[in-house]
Amino acid sequence: MNIEISNLHFTYPTGVTALRGIALMIESGEQVAIVGQNGAGKTTLVKHLNGLLQPTSGYVRIGEWDTQEHSVAKLARRVGYVFQNPDEQLFSKNVGTEVAFGPKNLGYSSEQVQASVKDALGMTELSDKTETNPYDLSPTWRKMVALASVIAMDTDIVIFDEPTTGQDAANIARIANVIKVLRERGKTVITITHDIDFCAENFERLIAMSHGQVLLDGKANDILGQAEILATTYVEPPQLTRLGKRLGFKETVRNEQEFLAEL
C-alpha cells in the first residue's frame, strides 16, 4: 500500500504554518526515517497520515484512500501510530487489555485478537508482563507497551514518533529488532527521530525536513554524506560517518561494519 503526499500545506488554527508544500511517495514495504530540527514539521506531517490532521491544501493518500474522505477510526486499519510519549496513549488496567484494545476495536475475531496480542507481546518482550498495570512499569517498558498496542493492530503502515527518546541501550536494541521484524513482514515503517545513529543503522531511506519542507530525500548513505545541507536543519551526520569523513574515507559509512571495511 503506497503513501502519496501531494503539495501538502498545513496551517494550525493558531496561524502557525507548519507544512509548506510537501510532495512524497513512500512505497509499500519501505523503511523511512524523517529527520530535522525541532519545529521542522515532522510530527505535523506524520499526523496527516492517519487523519489526525487534515491538509489545509493538497492531499494525502493511503493506498487509494484520500485521508479527507475517511475517518481517523477507519484510517487506523491501515496506519498505526506510536506516540512520542507513551503516556498519551495508554489507559488500560493491564498490559494484556491495553494491547488487545486496538485489534478488538478493529473488529477482529477473538482468536485473531488473541493471536495478534501474543505476537505483539512476544516481539516487544512483554510476554511476562501481561497482567501488570502499564503505570507500574518503568517509562522504558511503557514505551514497549505503546509499541505492542500498535503492532497488535497489524496495520500495513506503522509510524514511530521518536521511538528511542529516553531509552537505554537494551531497549534501543529491542526497538531496532521490532523494526527489523516489521521490515521482514513487508510493513511500511516511518520513523521520526533525532537519534541519527539509530537512524543510520536501521533505515535505508532518509528524509530531511526543514521549515515545513523536504530538504533532502534519498538513500541513507547519500543523504548522510551531505553534512553541510544537513547542518541547515540542525542534523549532524552519525558518529561513525563523521569519523570516516575526518579520516578521509572516500565512501560515506554509516555503521561499524562499513567503517571497519574502509579502515
Binding interface with other proteins (CB under 8 A) = 12, 14, 16, 36-39, 43, 84-85, 87, 138-141, 162, 165-172, 194, 196-197, 234-236, 238-240, 242-243, 246-247, 256, 259-260, 263
Q: Toward other proteins, which CB reaches closer, 246 or 250?
A: 246
Q: Smallest distance, Å, CB 241 to other proteins?
A: 10
Q: Toward other proteins, which CB reaches closer, 16 or 73?
A: 16
Q: Smallest distance, Å, CB 20 to other proteins?
A: 17
Task: Let me know if 263 is exposed, middle or buried by CB neighbors in 10 A (0-12, 13-18, 19+).
Answer: exposed
Q: Toward other proteins, which CB reaches closer, 24 or 243?
A: 243
Any idea what the Cα angle at residue 146 is, between residues 208 and 48, rounded to 5°? 40
The C-alpha atoms of residue 21 and residue 67 are separated, in whole angstroms, by 17
Tell the residue number behind the cell numbers 477510526, with chain if given: 73
Q: Toward other proteins, which CB reaches closer, 155 or 193?
A: 193
Q: Smallest distance, Å, CB 5 to other proteins?
A: 21
As a residue count, the chain comes to 263
Q: Toward other proteins, which CB reaches closer, 114 or 133?
A: 133
The C-alpha atoms of residue 194 and residue 196 are separated, in whole angstroms, by 6
Q: Smallest distance, Å, CB 31 to other proteins?
A: 21
Q: Toward other proteins, which CB reaches closer, 143 or 187?
A: 143
Q: Smallest distance, Å, CB 261 to other proteins?
A: 11
Positive or negative, the CA dihedral 170, 143, 203, 250 is negative
Q: Smallest distance, Å, CB 175 to other proteins?
A: 12
Q: Smallest distance, Å, CB 258 to other proteins?
A: 10
Task: Tell how strand 213-219 and strand 3-11 pair up.
Answer: unpaired
- Of 125, 63, 136, whose CA–CA distance to 94 is shortest? 136
Q: Toward other proteins, which CB reaches closer, 1 or 45?
A: 45
